[in-house]
């Protein structure tokens, strides 16, 4: 039986470690590739379903939300992913996060689950102050 040298042992160990790393990193991608995720993007679809419209008075403020057409021409200020939120008729700058939560320029560090909730959070933060239009750079 041939004697194993230190060099051969180290080479074999490195090869096994590299194989294990590649297998571990490739396994989640391989298993995910075979099934359809509800939020996965295929083509030009929205990654998650678009919320419906709402129009209500919350704490004395009128809040509205509705889907918009994606071809509205807005570049920088259209982070809402095709959705518009208004507080007392003034557009509230909203953005949809990758995980499906929503934030606004008023409540930026408190993600919520729906545009209605982001409008309500903005009203809470404003505490009666008027919402000023967000400048479109």
Range of the domain at 91: 54-126
Q: How confident is the model at residue 39 (pLDDT cuts 50, 70, 90)?
A: very low
Q: Provide the 3-class DSSP secondary structure of residue 120.
A: helix
Structure tokens at 26: 């490739």
Element (H, E) at 32: helix 6-33
Q: What's the pLDDT score for residue 6? A: 81
Whether 65 maps to a domain, the answer reads yes
- The answer to whether the predicted template modeling score (pTM) of the entire model surpasses 0.85 is no
Whether 86 maps to a domain, the answer reads yes
Q: What's the pLDDT score for residue 133? A: 84
> 39 to each of 46, 49, 70, 100, how far by Cα in Å?
8, 8, 19, 9
CB 102 within 8 Å of CB 96: yes
Whether 9 maps to a domain, the answer reads no
Query: Comparing C-alpha atoms, which of 52, 54, 131, 59 is closest to residue 93?
Result: 131
Q: In CATH, what number is assigned to the domain containing residue 64?
A: 3.30.1880.10
List, for residues 91-114, the tens digit of each pLDDT value: 999 999 989 999 999 988 899 999
Whether 88 maps to a domain, the answer reads yes
Whether 99 maps to a domain, the answer reads yes
Query: Distance between CA 42 and CA 26 in Å, rounded?
Result: 21
Whether 33 maps to a domain, the answer reads no
Whether 79 maps to a domain, the answer reads yes
Cα Dmax for the chain? 88
Q: Which of 19-23, 56-60, 72-76, 110-114 has the lowest mean pLDDT?
A: 72-76
- Tally the domains of the chain: 1
As a three-state string, the secondary structure of 88-115 is: CCEEECEEECCCCCEEECCCCCCCECCH
Whether 74 maps to a domain, the answer reads yes
């Amino acid at each position: 039986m041939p004697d194993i040298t230190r060099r051969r042992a180290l080479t074999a160990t490195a090869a096994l470690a590299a194989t294990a790393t590649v297998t571990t990193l490739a396994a989640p991608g391989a298993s995910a590739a075979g099934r359809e995720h509800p939020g996965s993007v295929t083509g030009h679809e929205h990654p998650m379903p678009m919320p419906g419209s709402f129009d209500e008075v919350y704490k004395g403020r009128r809040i509205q939300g509705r889907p918009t057409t994606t071809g509205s021409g807005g570049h920088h200020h259209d982070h809402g992913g095709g959705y518009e939120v208004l507080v007392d008729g003034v557009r509230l700058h909203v953005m949809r996060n990758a995980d499906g939560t929503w934030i606004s320029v008023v409540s930026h560090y408190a993600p919520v689950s729906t545009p209605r909730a982001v409008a309500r959070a903005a009203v809470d933060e404003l505490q009666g102050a008027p919402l000023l239009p967000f400048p479109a750079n």
